[in-house]
């Protein structure tokens, strides 16, 4: 058994016994890389990735093209690491889908946060609810700020009508890390509320999300349904 094989065996055994909680970021990344690099020392590449991106989380959030700029990273790694990140988001979203009744802002916020895990671009989602606050659907309305041409108000209204929604909650993220609504966010919220009201659909709230934090415009007094 080679040096690398012995290291792999020990690290895998440690994971099976302890889980990832006590791993440092290098070892956790090494362990992931085992599954796309069969017989090579992954320590050097793990160090290079962390040096380039700074943290384990940032490595998983990097795009394939960004990952490939790191020496030793080919198609296998560049395809696998984003899959890990998106699998995590998919898992969290699947868990929250069982919370079908969302009668409060806090429940809506908790439901929506997983949709934005690891997203580096500003993305807009529309949560559609029936008269009993049961989830009808939650769909991406586009990428870009809520007042950009990429996310037109008309499209959001059409999505709400197609879902036969009684009310909707708009949500978007601030990749900068601050969940503070901008003046443009507030202005667009009122314009969207008026457009939805014209077709007898209520905009219940607009939630701005950053990482695990979120701010409700209703709770902040920036919007009154």
Q: What is the reported pTM? A: 0.68
CA distance 130 to 137: 10
Cβ-contact 163, 140 below 8 angstroms:
no
Q: Does residue 58 surpass a pLDDT of 50?
A: yes
Inform me whether the pLDDT recorded for 120 exceeds 70: yes
Write down the mean pLDDT value for the chain: 89
17-52 pLDDT, tens per residue? 888 888 999 999 999 999 888 777 888 999 999 999
pLDDT, one tens digit per residue, over 3-21 is: 456 788 888 889 888 888 8
Confidence of residue 164 (pLDDT cuts 50, 70, 90): very high
- Residue 210: pLDDT band (50, 70, 90) is very high
> pLDDT-based confidence at 97, cuts 50/70/90?
low
pLDDT (0 to 100) of residue 91:
84
Of the chain, the percentage scoring pLDDT greater than 70 comes to: 95
How far apart (Å, rounded) are the C-alpha atoms in residues 207 and 136?
A: 18
The whole-number pLDDT of residue 3 equals 47
Q: Report whether 134 contacts 104 (CB < 8 A).
A: no
Indicate if the pLDDT at residue 150 is higher than 70.
Answer: no
Q: Does residue 222 register a pLDDT over 90?
A: yes
Q: For residue 1, is pLDDT > 70?
A: no
Q: Determine contact, residues 147/208, Cβ cutoff 8 Å.
A: no
Record the tokens describing residue 122, joined without a space: 């500003």
């Amino acid at each position: 058994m080679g040096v690398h094989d012995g290291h792999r065996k020990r690290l895998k055994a440690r994971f099976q016994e302890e889980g990832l909680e006590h791993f440092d970021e290098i070892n956790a990344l090494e362990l992931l890389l085992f599954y796309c690099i069969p017989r090579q020392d992954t320590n050097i590449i793990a160090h290079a990735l962390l040096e380039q991106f700074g943290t384990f989380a940032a490595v998983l959030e990097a795009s394939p093209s960004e990952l490939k700029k790191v020496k030793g990273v080919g198609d296998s790694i560049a395809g696998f690491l984003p899959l890990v990140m998106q699998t995590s988001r998919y898992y969290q979203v699947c868990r929250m889908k069982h919370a079908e009744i969302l009668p409060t802002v806090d429940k809506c916020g908790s439901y929506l946060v997983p949709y934005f895990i690891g997203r580096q671009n500003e993305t807009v989602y529309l949560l559609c609810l029936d008269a009993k606050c049961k989830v009808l659907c939650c769909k991406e309305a586009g990428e870009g700020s809520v007042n950009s041409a990429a996310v037109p108000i008309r499209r959001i209204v059409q999505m709400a009508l197609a879902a036969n929604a009684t009310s909707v909650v708009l949500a978007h993220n601030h990749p900068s890390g601050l969940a503070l609504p901008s003046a443009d966010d507030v202005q667009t919220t009122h314009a969207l509320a008026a457009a939805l009201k014209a077709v007898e659909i209520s905009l219940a709230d607009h939630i701005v999300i950053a990482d695990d934090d979120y701010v409700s415009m209703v709770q902040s007094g920036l919007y009154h349904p």
